[in-house]
Structure 1
Amino acid sequence: MDLAHWCVLSLAVGILAAGTVVFSSIIPISAAAICLIAVAWLVRKNNDRAVWLLAAACFFAGMARALQGQILPVDDISSYIGKTVAVYGVVDGTPEAARLDADSVSVRYRLRVQAVKAGNTPQSASGKLFASVRQSSDRPIYPHGANIVLAGAIKELHGYNNPGSPDMVASWRRQGFTARLSPNGEPRYASQTETDWRSRLNSLREAMIAKMKAAMPESDAAILKGALFGGYSGIPTDAIREFAATGIIHILSVSGSHIALVAGAVHWLGGVAGLRQQPSALLAAFAVLSYALLAGLSPPVIRSVIMGLIALSAAVWGREKDAANALALTAGGMLLFEPSLIEDISFQLSFSGTAGLVLLYAKTAERLAFLPDWLSRPIAATAAAQLGVLPVMAWYFNTIPLMSFAANLLVVPAIELTVVLGLAGSLTSLVVPPVGHLLLVICSLILSTAKHVNSALALLPFAVYLPPLNLLMSAAYYYCILWLYGYLTFLPDLAFLLRRRRQQTLAVMALLTILTAVGAVWPRPLSVHFIDVGQGDATLVMTPRGRAVLIDTGGSSGGDFDIGERVVYPYLRRLHVTSLDYLILTHGHQDHAGGAKAVAAAVPVSQILLPPEELTPAVDNLNSLKGLTVIPAYSGQSIVIDGVRFSLLRPHVSVSSSKRGNSNENSCVVEVRYGSHSFLITGDLEGQSEQALLAQGIAPQTVLKVGHHGAQASTSPAFLTTLDPRYAVISVGAGNRYGHPHPDTLKRLSAGGRPVFRTDKHGAVVFESDGLHLTVKPYINN
């Protein structure tokens, strides 16, 4: 590797290492300074060791920068977490509104905080926060730049902490958001709207979006808006799912390819106008920066601008061979500016995809020289980018669609054309409306055709499962790719090994194939996964032979966010769960069954067990799917899969007619037993049902999933004494409005030193057992 690569790699390792230390940034700063002094001395002596010390200096610089990045200003809004205050701020960006009913809407505001009133006098404050406000339909939705006042409780940001899921809290912090507000009323107008350059650009952007909506169907306008300015708001869920299935979901948001496309179009127009190469390139760069301003200068847009201009600059100035160094130095500069980018999925995809194109495209195209250029070039570009992003795709998405090659050939060029036409048409429509409208109509026709082609490709079931690759495995993968492409010249290439060491090479390859196959079918321990679904329940049981049973599915958190689709299904996909033997719903409440429809639509389910209760909206949604096999759950029902016994218990209680159909007392209880260990999944079980269950007789349990998220009425002393669990798990949402888990319940559970795991504190909690031994692995180990 070149010196630039070593330095950036060392910087990245230093940033990652910062998470394992607790000392001040002064220590790594001092170490970096000492290393740099030593480097200067060794350079004067022409000593080769200067390279290693320079790498060490970069390591300590990365660590220092990461430690500094964790420090917030003393007046940041996060310092008020846990307090009820009035917040004075400016609306940052266009609010997102979703109708709740005929009389109210839910509005999600992003607020740039200016002051906070915790007592009698407002105090200056900084930072940004989110606030989801329920307000009357006849009340105004305050636009970008409006000064408003919101009162409520300041709470911590919280995402869904499951293996492989993006760290949303870190992502929000990179955008400047450090808290959220739970409002106790509607926003109040404070003063006139700001008219700074951001507001003017936002007004221009909104005017362009209005022209799109006037010229094309709403779904097409939403897709074009996302491609030009970012965000999936308004794009139909089916369209998002189909673009993800064909591996081109990135085309629906601002990406490096869009930036390069705009730059290329302007550069070409400059050539047509007779400009020389470099002036034309400067004009293209100006156009790209203007586009970035128009798109909002969000962190993803800035990253896309930087990454997208690298290839163009290298080509214009004839320095393609320096593109890899330029990419490395750019990534290093971005990490120094914002160290947490190293864990950002957008940055990882942008960098690895661009690196794949820079390093692998030319050599891949050479190997496809037997094909015509119009076919070999897009295939080579797709293959190079996919090889670059494969470990990232494996970690977050666990599949790579083979249809992406066809989608990149047929759909991506059409979408890219609509990006150019849409940008030109929406701008032109502000000056010459008839011409701009015509361009947008043409854009809509192309976009509709591309959508239909993509929908057809998404129906083809060609995808390869990718097991999650950790950091070491990812490094090994990249070294193998570099070796196969001839970059590791100190190692013999594959052709040489097959020619000179044919038998040994084939034997090693055969051994690796056999070990992989044996590992895939070798029995594993039973695993019970308590998934973090916020304020809800979802428990996945994986048998030793890989069969799966899901108990509850969590529910919607509001708006278009479906827990089943966005949290539970990705968890199943990560574990390569391609079907469910059983889906068991303890009861029909939204927080337990709201995600069932999305899960059943995404994963084939052999049988669904429902308690005999009045249908709830969540169960009605599930039943709207065709081809489901639904059977009633009854007490004493027993299912055995791979030696794992699932026993259903229904406490016999008398529930008043006013509560029947939606009472927590109707919850089914599921006992999962394997060998000498057992797990009791209690749904929303509370006091009366607990007593009824005790009267029926129940054995002690190893693990108790606490009923009703740890409510005060759950887990009575008698119930806890009888079960005597070694571990307790509470599935609960952070900062929920119900006050779960109740302090009295926690006190009862923790008596005697019993470990209590909470999904709001520990994220997903996974137990594994071979029938004799039991281990527990919380995602966040406190």
Structure 2
Amino acid sequence: MRMWLTTAAIVAGCWLGVLWPLLVLAVVAAAGMWRCRALWLVWLIIGYGFGVWQLNIGLIKRLPADQDRAVVSLQGEVVDVPVTHREFRFGRWQWRQQILFLVWGSEEWPGKHQVVLNSYAPPVLLGAGDRVRLTAELKVPRGLYNRFGPDRSRSDLSAGIDARGTLKQISVEGNNRGIAAWREQLSYRVEERVSGSPLGQAVLPALIVGNRSGLEASLWQAFQVTGGAHLLAISGLHIAIVAGWFWWLGRVVFAPVLQALMPVLRRYSQQHLAWVPALLAATGYAALAGFSLPTVRALVMLIVVALAQWWRVPISLGRALALALLVVLMIMPLAALSESLWLSFGAVAFIAMLTRSHGSWRLIILLPVVMTMASAGLFHQWTPSAPLANLILVPLYTVLVIPAALLGALLDQTWLLQAAATGVELSVWVMTWLANQGIPSWLMLPSTVSGIVLMFGLMLLLMPFVPFPRRLLPFCLLPWLTQQPEPLASGEWSLTAFDVGQGLAVAIRTREHLLIYDAGPSWPGGSVAAQSISPWLSVTGQKVDRMLISHGDNDHAGGLVDLPSAVALFSGEPHRVPGSHFCRAGDRWSWDGVSFTVLWPRETGLKSNAASCVLHVDGPFGSVLLPGDIGVQQEYHLLGTLPSVDLLVLGHHGSQSSTSAALLRQLQPRFAIVSAGYRNRFNHPHPAVLGRLDSAGITVLRTDRDGMIVFRQGGADNVRLITKWRQAYARPWHGPAVWRLW
């Protein structure tokens, strides 16, 4: 119990990062210790204080805010296999590397730090173990912040990444020829041995040494859509497979031979001796993966179980899990901020609990169902095909792909590597077929809270030995079935401006309808729409009725491919937005007492920003204007026809080429929203535009500072409800290191 309390306290300290619980615990302990000797309070205090302390140490190590975008000269070493891609940028093909460095040597930022740097069109491709002198533009770890989607600031803190940036100059001084360099050479050798299988070249280096450079975006997406992405990230599953194979070999071969040669070892059972090759193999595989966080925690769990059996110490499942988790958090406390940690430990716990009440064949079927539900709640990825995919792929990778790939790589046997590549090709064929089946539109993603409740109900359902009235289990469905957004009255509207970086994506909701205006940017292998907008639609159970893509630039239209396709689609540049109709000035419609009117363009033939659809939304409680990226010239054409509005979404992300003083005088908005990237290279929003807004007394809301913004007009007394995500849901890692009482 003390281990679980200490573990829970460390986790709470890392996630909360505030001191008032520590003070409360100290007061309670001081008041009650002399009576009841409640030593568990002491463990709570120690664990929580340790978690808060480690959180602030991690935050202090990050690049200071005043050094953001600074160009710094450093010494460094490449500590992992660089991710190398060839991509088309600025009209030509060029190399790009993403490199993890250990750097030091800056007076402004003393100490050693891990940084991730992108190198575009480098004069020389770096390799693992290279010692360098470098000049880089560094940025504070900061990502987009929406209701759904990745939180890069938290994930970087969990992984120990103190800054990101761009490599400007590099001078290679040598190579340490360590394990990272050996992993890279092994990866290249594997690629050569399976040159006849492009899929094998892409996947096998990822399975053997964690090098995912060769994975194309479409291949990675196929693994994600079908719930098989965990097979490509060397994690607890892979370590368990290798340890299991070598435990079995040790039990059958290694242990009997040792006992025959060394009779003194007969005091130990063959099951005990089998742990020696199992742990050695697991440690070796973790080293191949660069001792990444998932492999380290899996290794710790194996060591805990092995030591308990070796010393013949009876240890329950709960105690073993608590001890393993406590050791992991003592070594890497900020791993508590990683969802994958809880997915791994949760999987082990469910496996153990399910084996008490189900046979092994049922376990193979039930475990993927449980993990699919967990993935939906934690990562907001709903993959109904995951149970079937894992039912096929996990045995395939366990029996054939992973053993053949590792033995082939270590023994340099081409035929084994080709056998593994054949298994990979079969798995990709299965995933492609499953991915084409799609996801039913009526199947809502569970939110984090409803996902936890569903997992609790599923756990009770699958474990009949737990005393619980089964007739109450349907109530676990209620949070999932009632997670729709708060209803709007007739005439009310709500605008959600997603944090998409340098781009625009807006959703306007009325009582019964939803409009998407622009879809944000995309990049090779993903988009903001896939990360944040699609989960938002699925969790809230909303259906898109119409989409307007202002024009064809990527920062407005890139995410369209990841949004529902069977809806009415309009654009100012239909020739650049496939499947769209021309949105022409004068088009209008009405939803639930709210009118929508297209004000621009008035004619075809306009190009790029000038062709943007300008949309006016008007209801009894207020109005909003969305001008896309039109410039001052188009604004002058509209003057005299524009009504006043309550809210203005600034044109062209706040560029100086838009939002003229004449437009502001005409519209007289009380609020303005700027959708721009944090400290973007275009200097949006421009200081001159901000000056005009300030002079007009307009309140400015900015996605680069506020994250996702929800603006609701209407309700009782026509109250405006404005939610700024970085303020309403701020976490300690979204700001500088500060000892917070509350």
Tell whether the 8 Å contact from 1:260 to 1:309 is kept in structure 2 after alignment. no
* Distance (Å, rounded) in 2 between the aligned partners of 1:399 and 1:523: 25
Equivalent position of 1:469 in the other structure: 448
Residue 105 of structure 2 aligns to a residue in which SS?
strand
Equivalent position of 1:342 in the other structure: 336
* Distance (Å, rounded) in 2 between the aligned partners of 1:93 and 1:521: 44
Partner amino acid for 2:469? Answer: L
Partner amino acid for 1:719? Answer: L
TM-score (norm 1): 0.80
* Distance (Å, rounded) in 1 between the aligned partners of 2:93 and 2:448: 49
Tell whether the 8 Å contact from 1:683 to 1:708 is kept in structure 2 after alignment. yes
Residue 417 of structure 2 aligns to a residue in which SS?
helix
Equivalent position of 2:422 in the other structure: 445
Tell whether the 8 Å contact from 1:581 to 1:605 is kept in structure 2 after alignment. no
* Distance (Å, rounded) in 2 between the aligned partners of 1:64 and 1:283: 38
Equivalent position of 1:693 in the other structure: 638
1:746 and 2:690 matched: yes
Pairs within 5 Å for 1:205-284? 205-214=186-195, 216-230=196-210, 232-275=212-255, 276-284=270-278
1:376 and 2:366 matched: no
**Residues 674 and 460 of structure 1: CA distance in aligned 2, closer, same or farther (over 3 Å):** same
* CA displacement at 1:518 relative to structure 2: 7.5
Equivalent position of 1:62 in the other structure: 51
Pairs within 5 Å for 1:532-681? 532-545=499-512, 547-557=513-523, 559-577=524-542, 579-596=543-560, 598-600=561-563, 603-612=564-573, 615=575, 619=576, 622-623=577-578, 628=579, 630-650=580-600, 661-662=607-608, 664-681=609-626
Equivalent position of 1:104 in the other structure: 94
Equivalent position of 1:493 in the other structure: 468
Equivalent position of 1:432 in the other structure: none
User: Which of residues 131, 151, 155 is equivalent to 1:147?
Assistant: 131
Tell whether the 8 Å contact from 1:710 to 1:730 is kept in structure 2 after alignment. yes
* CA displacement at 1:698 relative to structure 2: 1.1
**Residues 448 and 106 of structure 1: CA distance in aligned 2, closer, same or farther (over 3 Å):** closer
Partner amino acid for 1:679? Answer: V
**Residues 271 and 32 of structure 1: CA distance in aligned 2, closer, same or farther (over 3 Å):** same
Unaligned residue ranges in structure 2 (runs of 5+)? 256-269, 731-742
* CA displacement at 1:103 relative to structure 2: 5.8
**Residues 124 and 84 of structure 1: CA distance in aligned 2, closer, same or farther (over 3 Å):** same
* Distance (Å, rounded) in 1 between the aligned partners of 2:681 and 2:94: 20
* CA displacement at 1:249 relative to structure 2: 2.2
Greater mean deviation of Cα atoms: 759-768 or 604-613: 604-613
* CA displacement at 1:593 relative to structure 2: 1.5
User: Which of residues 373, 384, 392 is equivalent to 1:410?
Assistant: 392
> Sequence identity, in percent?
24
TM-score (norm 2): 0.84
Pairs within 5 Å for 1:115-514? 115-116=105-106, 126-135=112-121, 139-182=123-166, 185=168, 187-195=169-177, 197-214=178-195, 216-230=196-210, 232-275=212-255, 276-307=270-301, 322-358=316-352, 360-365=353-358, 375-383=361-369, 385-386=370-371, 390=373, 393-397=376-380, 399-401=382-384, 403-416=385-398, 417-429=400-412, 436-461=413-438, 464-470=443-449, 480=457, 493-494=468-469
* CA displacement at 1:418 relative to structure 2: 0.2
* Distance (Å, rounded) in 2 between the aligned partners of 1:493 and 1:106: 56
* CA displacement at 1:691 relative to structure 2: 1.8
Residue 316 of structure 2 aligns to a residue in which SS?
helix
Equivalent position of 2:266 in the other structure: none
**Residues 681 and 315 of structure 1: CA distance in aligned 2, closer, same or farther (over 3 Å):** farther
**Residues 77 and 466 of structure 1: CA distance in aligned 2, closer, same or farther (over 3 Å):** closer
**Residues 397 and 303 of structure 1: CA distance in aligned 2, closer, same or farther (over 3 Å):** same
Residue 219 of structure 1 aligns to a residue in which SS?
helix
**Residues 460 and 478 of structure 1: CA distance in aligned 2, closer, same or farther (over 3 Å):** closer
> Residues 248-294 of structure 1, C-alpha deviation per residue, up to 9 Å, x if partnerless?
32112112111100001111111231412222212111111111111
* CA displacement at 1:468 relative to structure 2: 0.6
Residue 227 of structure 1 aligns to a residue in which SS?
helix
Residue 639 of structure 2 aligns to a residue in which SS?
helix
Residue 227 of structure 2 aligns to a residue in which SS?
coil
* CA displacement at 1:163 relative to structure 2: 1.3
**Residues 303 and 702 of structure 1: CA distance in aligned 2, closer, same or farther (over 3 Å):** farther
> Residues 715-748 of structure 1, C-alpha deviation per residue, up to 9 Å, x if partnerless?
2222122222222111111121111111122222
* CA displacement at 1:571 relative to structure 2: 4.0
Tell whether the 8 Å contact from 1:549 to 1:582 is kept in structure 2 after alignment. yes
> Residues 641-668 of structure 1, C-alpha deviation per residue, up to 9 Å, x if partnerless?
344332111166999xxxx523x23222
> Residues 537-562 of structure 1, C-alpha deviation per residue, up to 9 Å, x if partnerless?
111223322x43221112235x5444
Tell whether the 8 Å contact from 2:497 to 2:675 is kept in structure 1 after alignment. yes
1:776 and 2:740 matched: no
Partner amino acid for 2:4? Answer: H
**Residues 314 and 554 of structure 1: CA distance in aligned 2, closer, same or farther (over 3 Å):** farther
Residue 61 of structure 2 aligns to a residue in which SS?
coil
1:726 and 2:661 matched: no
* Distance (Å, rounded) in 2 between the aligned partners of 1:509 and 1:707: 49
* CA displacement at 1:522 relative to structure 2: 8.1
* Distance (Å, rounded) in 2 between the aligned partners of 1:88 and 1:562: 34
Partner amino acid for 2:672? Answer: A
> Residues 560-618 of structure 1, C-alpha deviation per residue, up to 9 Å, x if partnerless?
444444454344444444x532221111112111222x225xx23322112157x4xxx
* Distance (Å, rounded) in 1 between the aligned partners of 2:617 and 2:459: 47
**Residues 405 and 321 of structure 1: CA distance in aligned 2, closer, same or farther (over 3 Å):** farther
Residue 97 of structure 1 aligns to a residue in which SS?
strand
* Distance (Å, rounded) in 2 between the aligned partners of 1:683 and 1:202: 49
Tell whether the 8 Å contact from 2:114 to 2:160 is kept in structure 1 after alignment. yes
* Distance (Å, rounded) in 2 between the aligned partners of 1:455 and 1:269: 35
* CA displacement at 1:344 relative to structure 2: 1.5
Residue 780 of structure 1 aligns to a residue in which SS?
helix
- Provide the aligned C-alpha RMSD in A: 3.6
Residue 597 of structure 2 aligns to a residue in which SS?
strand
**Residues 438 and 589 of structure 1: CA distance in aligned 2, closer, same or farther (over 3 Å):** same
* Distance (Å, rounded) in 2 between the aligned partners of 1:709 and 1:169: 23
Unaligned residue ranges in structure 1 (runs of 5+)? 430-435, 499-504
* CA displacement at 1:295 relative to structure 2: 1.0
* Distance (Å, rounded) in 1 between the aligned partners of 2:14 and 2:478: 38
* CA displacement at 1:765 relative to structure 2: 1.0
Equivalent position of 2:495 in the other structure: 528
Partner amino acid for 1:287? Answer: A
Greater mean deviation of Cα atoms: 705-714 or 104-113: 104-113
Residue 499 of structure 2 aligns to a residue in which SS?
coil
**Residues 284 and 34 of structure 1: CA distance in aligned 2, closer, same or farther (over 3 Å):** farther
Tell whether the 8 Å contact from 1:90 to 1:113 is kept in structure 2 after alignment. yes
* Distance (Å, rounded) in 1 between the aligned partners of 2:687 and 2:309: 64
* CA displacement at 1:773 relative to structure 2: 3.4
* Distance (Å, rounded) in 1 between the aligned partners of 2:597 and 2:529: 24
* CA displacement at 1:636 relative to structure 2: 1.3
* Distance (Å, rounded) in 1 between the aligned partners of 2:120 and 2:438: 42
